[in-house]
Structure 1
């Protein structure tokens, strides 16, 4: 099997592919670094090219970017039993992929709007701007709590981990850790879910290997 390399930027989405690689039982080389002035160090950007955003997976001579894309790639290539993403054509596949994509397209999009307002707004009332944006974050979390409440297990699709969990866990953890639109509310089911994910052997192996910490 060609060597797999994961370019891992500290305190970032990079924990997703690391967790997935551990869950799949795949060997990989870790090329990790912490941020320098809130940005990835230049040597990492030089090695991967493109936008210089992380995580990046190198499988043999192929570079794969975007954590959701990396997730689908690894599952399609190495999850032969379709344990983490159901097979092509199986209706359950698209229920799982809904969360794979929502993790970035919905949850991170709405929460990052709050963070960017804090960082970038030059005039006006930042607190009022954040409060307005936060409505979407709270709707997302309320939706998640309702959906996890329907599950017959501790994960989104029961007792068995899927790619949906591997993608959405970081989004939820990031929102709560950075208090992005959630200061006035408690989210017990979200916190319970994050704890369940982080208690898995594969997440803990990934955390230990990478040093991930928000």
Structure 2
């Protein structure tokens, strides 16, 4: 098996890939860095290439970018039993992929709009802007809570973690920890879901190995 290197930027989506690698039982090296002025250090950008965003995975001589893409790549290559991502044609594959894509295209998109407004809005009423943007985040969390209520398992698609949870755990943790659009509301089922993910032996191992923190 070729050596795998995970370029891990703190307070980023990188924990997704560390958790996935632990679930897959694949050995990997971590090259971790703290942020410098809210950004990745230049050495990491130079070494990993791409857009300078993280995580980045190096498998042999191949560099891969974007956490969703890396997740599908690792599952396709190393998840030979299709435990984390069912095979092509299996209806459960598309249940999993729904969450893989929603994690970024919906949950992170809506929450980051609020974070960027806090950081970058010049003039105007930032609080009013955030209040308007919060509606999307709250609808997202309402939907997740509803789906968790329907589920018979601890995780999004069954009793064990899948690629869906690998992607969604960070999105949920990011929103709740940063209080992005939550406006004092609580989602008990969503918070319990976060705790269930972070209670897995593999997530804990990934966190310990990388030093991940938000």
Question: TM-score, structure 1 length as denominator?
Answer: 0.99
Residue aligning to 2:23: 23
**Cα-to-partner distance string for 1:136-185 (whole Å, 9 max, x where unaligned):** 00000000000111110111122111110110010000000000000221
Q: List 4+ stretches of structure 1 deviating above 6 A.
A: none
Equivalence map 1:121-200=2 (5 Å): 121-200=121-200
- In the other structure, the counterpart of 1:45 is 45
Question: What is the match of residue 76 of structure 2?
Answer: 76
Please, what TM-score do these two structures have when normalized by structure 2? 0.99
- 1:42, CA displacement in angstroms? 0.4
Secondary structure of 1:145 counterpart:
helix
Q: For 2:28 and 2:157, how far apart are their aligned partners in 1?
A: 28
Q: For the residues of structure 2 that align with 1:17 and 1:85, how far apart are their CA atoms?
A: 14
Question: Secondary structure at the residue paired with 1:31?
Answer: strand
SS in 2 for 1:12: coil
Q: Residues of 2 paired with 1:164 and 1:45: CA distance?
A: 28
Q: Distance in 2 between matches of 1:2 and 1:204?
A: 25
How many residues of Structure 1 are paired with residues of Structure 2 in the alignment? 214
Q: Secondary structure at the match of 2:6?
A: strand
| Structure 1 unpaired stretches of 5+ | none
